[in-house]
Structure 1
């Protein structure tokens, strides 16, 4: 079901692992009945009001964050985000249940609890001048004006931290840029004995045919049937001229039969065929009848009936498969041979003289 450009399937698949903003469909409202669960297997759908949803997300998959209220300052990697419920899914969250601790892959937190990790900086200890590595987080974020990138088809903007925790001594009034997470490059394994090397694939093996380049020169004489026969039968290749330009014969096999130009050509040929057929039937009916109106009516009836019969015949031809037709013909011929054999056996049947045999008098 679609509701103002939004579907229930998109609502169920609200969590995304893409860091880019390509549209604002998550800001659209949807009916409340989509969130109702009819069975236990139905997914649990959570949502916030459309006015409370975030338009431009600055916490995206691949970022490292910490959670407000977490005294351990443990870093979490963002796995995915749900723009419908403003929730951030983290990777490898640990949840303590009593004495045991278990790993939960779908643990999520609200967007407002997330602080971006800026890096480790050397800051002096409280009450001491000795520096130590301290993790620094973005306390307040700022962004540039978003703009649409028509080449990448997405919205882009730059994000920066206007306030940090703990505060950096040399960054008062400065904007610390925060880089977007870069996608991991695919690890391409080394080629094995089953893979083709790049040099083998890039090697040019095509050879141009040896023809006379002068304008108006005669091309070598070769037929399409001879070329196709040489492809199937290797012993015929000796009689074929190798310098003949046989590549044009492949245009029928390599060209798309469903292209727009070929469809238009077939349509024009069909229209021309229908006009010629109507003209022939009309001439025949004019010769048979003296009433032109009646002859035209009969001609139109015959014309429509013949066109319908042609369409039905084409439809039946499409239904038939060549292998299936050959199989049916083989079965029919076998059935005929079997009937002929049975008739021959009955005709040549002869009974030996034995007791308890009765021959009718009529015979």
Structure 2
């Protein structure tokens, strides 16, 4: 396989169990943006547009077995690592990989038709007469009508085992799907990922150390902040008195009542808190503008400034959002003006204006009091 073809297959491989669109069914000239601009051609010869699978019932995380091919083994349960919807290929964990890494798209692919999906473990009759618990596989799959969840932007449907390796009674309890013989619903694999807790290093703080209470607040009425004894050695400087007085300790901790005043106001935590408060205030202001426009839309009717046209809720929401944006621009301008005044910008502008006025006044005075000295090259015109 060439590097270009391998790159195309790797870009079209997905590990997600969700179906957000059906762009893999588009023609090769319309696949722009699906994976890369390089993927505008067919990923592999022989996989035509009409041969691609639309509703994938085998997704990453499912348990399957291989029934055809060189790795066929009907007694081994394997797990799906990823799928390629452009080539109808499924990558199985546990098979020898193609490259140095045996993960993801580097695993050995198998065709969709060579796999059977595991339905579950059921009690099946055995030759000895006693029921035995065995794996039941779906030999034919079916699905319900897909529907789109706009909130999450995904297509969902239910998958069923229309035929199994061992005949089982129907367990279909869906309301919108009619009961069918040997139609068993197969749940989708769980997409929850286990949180990996890294091992603490030499520079990490253990949880018990972080939660340990190592400081207790000091009240001002307790030493070393309060000295009930008057000064016994007048004339001695403070350093000598601190060394002689047991109630005064230079290494004493700072009282907790000054923590807010002495803390850094520009710390990341405080800046983030102010940013969150500002976003919350903007969101509340937007809701207020939209609510006001919604109330105004309910009062509109014939004879208003809109020429008798009634405002729809969607239009009123857009108008409220537009007014809110203009209000934000005005508020930002006012905030810049306030900061400019607080920095002394207005006083500086007045000083510049006064300096310019003094300069012009001095220039006018110099012109008014200008006296030319008598020199040889000066000639007084004669009167006519």
TM-score (norm 1): 0.49
TM-score (norm 2): 0.46
